[in-house]
Structure 1
Amino acid sequence: MTQPFDLVVYGATGFTGRLVVEYLLQRYPASSGGPRWAMGGRSAAKLATVRDEVGAPADTPLVVADASDPASLRALMAQTRLVLTTVGPYQLYGSELVAACAAAGVDYVDLCGEPAWMRQMIDVHEAAAKASGARIVFSCGFDSIPFDLGVFLLQKEFRHRFGHPASRVRGRVRQMKGTFSGGTAASLKATLAAAAANPAVLDLLKNPFSLTPGFTGPRQPPGNKPMLDEALGLWVAPFVMAAINTRNVHRSNFLLQHAYGADFVYDEMLVTGAGDKGEALANAVASDKSLGASDGPKPGEGPSRAEREAGFYDLLFVGQDDAGRSLRVGVRGDRDPGYGSTSKMIAEAAVCLLQQSAAATPGGIWTPAPAMGDRLIDRLQAHAGLRFAVEEA
């Protein structure tokens, strides 16, 4: 049976979902011959309101679906090849949707930054996804596409130049302007609540190899304290997204048959600068708890268009081997990371999975790099405002 849609944006009435719809309208209008897409959510009335507010054509398809209703999910599976979901926290609202996609052979992409839930989904649904052919790809936003693909490109270039991968890679956020999403804050709160209620969740959160079942690599840097980075000569501070990004990078290495090496060591930190000023700023960053505060961003809230367009990020990846050889890769994005860039990244990941990865990527639960790799890098550079480049020191 041929589904009427290639992809459904589930959560199209939310803040990030609306941004995804706006991007699809601009990049893949119905007249473009591109993917056939629809807006999805629980309320037909709200979907129609958002459709009109964003200036979508009146005949833009609307799919009513409720992830808590099994019959509704079965109907959704019959209508689309892929579900793009922005409805988080995923540990609260995503489990049934992943299960339905894995069983039905429907592809899935999300913005998840919840490693304990992701591991639960891997344990429960990966066999079904492999059997059905469903490609389940977590973390297709700022967490973790730029980091996952940055390491992927660095290791590819390192092997090309030196004949082997870098055993040590440092991910460093050189600059970033923008706010973290309300969804990220809600996911953090939900994760902390789950960890408080279940010690097994806390164990997963502490384990850098929580997404690599059956494999544990070498001891990893803790990344939880300010320090002077000897490779850069600059002070660095803990980076709030490192807890998910590092685990996704290790899962990518695992899925790539340890192309980065079984002894691979990776960490992420935020660069704060040189000297006393850099040290003071690193200490200030380390003590900042605003993301989890009660007055932090809420789901459905976000920056204005002007604020999103004024945002950006600049990431550095430094790879080294045991002989001291080194290589650097930079990754830059042209919008605020949590909203403007994320909405473009997840949309392009969905289209890449549908149009360019059908033969290359079998069913299973994936991270972006092994699922799409160079194909996604090319799409992001062509359409989504990202730049990936080897940097000569």
Structure 2
Amino acid sequence: MSNRLDVIIFGASGYTGQYVIEEMARKGKQFGFKWGIAGRTVDKLKQVLQQASKFTGIENLDSTIDTITANVTNKQSLVDMCARTKVLINCVGPYRHYGEPVVQACLEARTHYIDISGEPQFLETMQLQYDSQAAERETIIVGSCGFDSLVADLGVETIRQECDQKNLDIAFIESFLSMKHAKTTGGLIHYATWESAVYGFSHAKELKNIRKQLFQQKLPYSKYKIERRPIFKTTLDGKPTWALPFPGSDKSVVQRTQYFNYTQLNKKPIRFQPYIQISSLFAVIQTLFFGSIFSLLTKFKLGIQCLLKYPGLFSGGCVTHEGPTRAECEQASFKMTFVTHTDNKQKLTHELTGPDPGYLGTSKLLIACAVMLLKENDRLPVKGGVLTPGAAFGRTILMDYLEKEGFSMTRK
């Protein structure tokens, strides 16, 4: 591997890929990494690098960074691409359509793989089908390394380590997500993110069978828990707020980490439930209205076609093909509040805050995982396997690294 590049970003010409490249350019300069980008056409890749130079102030990226032609429909091009790097960052989604060939190519080339998938069906299928092969070939495969679902997974692992030091047994952890957005005339979410969500929900019924095969051992969770209504009002940081179950991949990713910790590391599993904070009852009703329509339409073919054809209509204007502007991303931020309940009925509160979760923050999180694979590989729990972010990086300096990148984890 000595002659390989350190990192290649595949899907570099997409909306999220632009931000990922800019972050890679900064960290490449900081750490002296050799890196490249890959996609279907060299001309587009050169344009993306020129844009990256413009926004990072790092000159001549289009002439100094390697560009590689690769296409998900051409297996050999994927294998050739993966054979040129130590770590492959995959930004091509929806992953249920385009992710598996890239994972297969990484395994063939013995190249570590990370992505930003928030699609539980894809993530768990990859673990079910390729974990043994990845372990045999000493290749690390880690999905969900963006905001979905690194923040929740790393937060839980950080709290676990703190409680272990204090000899506190955790019964369960709840997370409450709040997001701050700039006033916008466009959308808050890019169409590609919406498309992945549509396909993820439409195939959610496949998860039952996948999990039956994947999780054959029942975990001994603590019996102590709090019963919550589906919609409830609570108080966080001294302020009343409404809360709804968070429909993303956080819960499934954290549960996979707990399964790994128990079966591989003999650690007590932690029950986890994520919620999203809603500011008012009116906003709760709005969320339920659009959420119910979304859920219903993902259950049949015509409904899926409508969601994909009219994203603005079915998202209340939140989704556009253009996505939020750079200025809007720069003004956005998130806060995830973790409420930890211990077996002896203590309650601990932590807050994990950071920049725009969708794109700027996700690019920082993703590149941080690549840095851990390159710099902290000896601190990973196994040499190969299909892992969650928490399982892979929970024992590295990832949280310390992120503290220097605009993220903060504090005990309240």
Deviation, 1:381, is 1.2
Is 1:385–2:406 an aligned residue pair? yes
Deviation, 1:288, is 2.9
Partner of 2:337: 316
Question: Structure 1: how far apart are the matches of 2:227 and 2:115?
Answer: 27
Bigger shift: residues 84-93 or 347-356: 347-356
1:172–1:270 contact (8 Å) kept in structure 2 = yes
Question: Structure 2: how far apart are the matches of 1:51 and 1:283?
Answer: 43
Deviation, 1:86, is 0.9
Unaligned runs of 5+ residues in structure 2 are: 54-60, 183-187, 296-306, 313-317
Question: Structure 1: how far apart are the matches of 2:294 and 2:89?
Answer: 25
1:226–1:283 contact (8 Å) kept in structure 2 = no
Q: Per the alignment, do residues 180 and 237 of structure 1 end up closer, same or farther by CA in structure 2, a change over 3 Å counting?
A: farther
Deviation, 1:364, is 0.4
Question: Structure 2: how far apart are the matches of 1:302 and 1:328?
Answer: 34
Question: Structure 1: how far apart are the matches of 2:321 and 2:92?
Answer: 10
Partner of 1:288: 290
Deviation, 1:389, is 1.5
What one-letter code is carried by the residue in structure 2 that aligns with 1:315?
M
What one-letter code is carried by the residue in structure 1 that aligns with 2:363?
S
Deviation, 1:59, is 2.3
Partner of 2:92: 87
Partner of 2:135: 130
Question: Structure 2: how far apart are the matches of 1:21 and 1:339?
Answer: 12
Q: Per the alignment, do residues 70 and 377 of structure 1 end up closer, same or farther by CA in structure 2, a change over 3 Å counting?
A: same
SS in 1 for 2:283: helix
Partner of 1:352: 372
Query: Where in structure 2 are the equivalents of 1:235-246 lying within 5 Å?
Result: 235-240=241-246, 242-246=247-251
Q: Could you report, residue by residue, the CA deviation over 1:296-352 in whole angstroms, capped at 9, with x for unpaired residues?
A: 47796321111111000011101112321121111000x211111001110111111
Question: Structure 2: how far apart are the matches of 1:105 and 1:114?
Answer: 24
Question: Structure 2: how far apart are the matches of 1:115 and 1:83?
Answer: 20
1:251–1:367 contact (8 Å) kept in structure 2 = yes
Partner of 1:261: 268
Question: Structure 2: how far apart are the matches of 1:105 and 1:366?
Answer: 16
SS in 2 for 1:337: coil
Question: Structure 2: how far apart are the matches of 1:73 and 1:224?
Answer: 47
Query: Where in structure 2 are the equivalents of 1:203-218 lying within 5 Å?
Result: 203=208, 213-217=215-219
SS in 2 for 1:94: helix
Q: Could you report, residue by residue, the CA deviation over 1:80-134 in whole angstroms, capped at 9, with x for unpaired residues?
A: 1111011111010111111121233210110011111212111111111001111
Partner of 1:12: 12
Question: Structure 2: how far apart are the matches of 1:210 and 1:158?
Answer: 31
What's the % identity of the aligned pairs?
A: 25
Bigger shift: residues 87-96 or 72-81: 72-81
Q: Could you report, residue by residue, the CA deviation over 1:268-298 in whole angstroms, capped at 9, with x for unpaired residues?
A: 112235xxxx444333323333878422477
Question: Structure 1: how far apart are the matches of 2:209 and 2:321?
Answer: 28
Partner of 1:40: 38
Q: Per the alignment, do residues 230 and 237 of structure 1 end up closer, same or farther by CA in structure 2, a change over 3 Å counting?
A: closer
Question: Structure 1: how far apart are the matches of 2:229 and 2:105?
Answer: 37
Q: Per the alignment, do residues 375 and 328 of structure 1 end up closer, same or farther by CA in structure 2, a change over 3 Å counting?
A: same
1:118–1:211 contact (8 Å) kept in structure 2 = no
Question: Structure 1: how far apart are the matches of 2:145 and 2:384?
Answer: 17
Q: Per the alignment, do residues 152 and 176 of structure 1 end up closer, same or farther by CA in structure 2, a change over 3 Å counting?
A: farther
1:83–1:109 contact (8 Å) kept in structure 2 = yes
Question: Structure 2: how far apart are the matches of 1:327 and 1:359?
Answer: 28
2:67 to 62, 67, 71: 62
Deviation, 1:26, is 2.6
Question: Structure 2: how far apart are the matches of 1:261 and 1:164?
Answer: 11
Q: Could you report, residue by residue, the CA deviation over 1:335-372 in whole angstroms, capped at 9, with x for unpaired residues?
A: 21111100111011111111112453410011111211
Question: Structure 1: how far apart are the matches of 2:334 and 2:213?
Answer: 26
Q: Per the alignment, do residues 204 and 330 of structure 1 end up closer, same or farther by CA in structure 2, a change over 3 Å counting?
A: farther
Number of matched pairs: 373
Unaligned runs of 5+ residues in structure 1 are: none
TM-score (norm 1): 0.86
2:127–2:387 contact (8 Å) kept in structure 1 = no
Question: Structure 1: how far apart are the matches of 2:244 and 2:214?
Answer: 23
2:86–2:112 contact (8 Å) kept in structure 1 = yes
Q: Per the alignment, do residues 3 and 91 of structure 1 end up closer, same or farther by CA in structure 2, a change over 3 Å counting?
A: farther
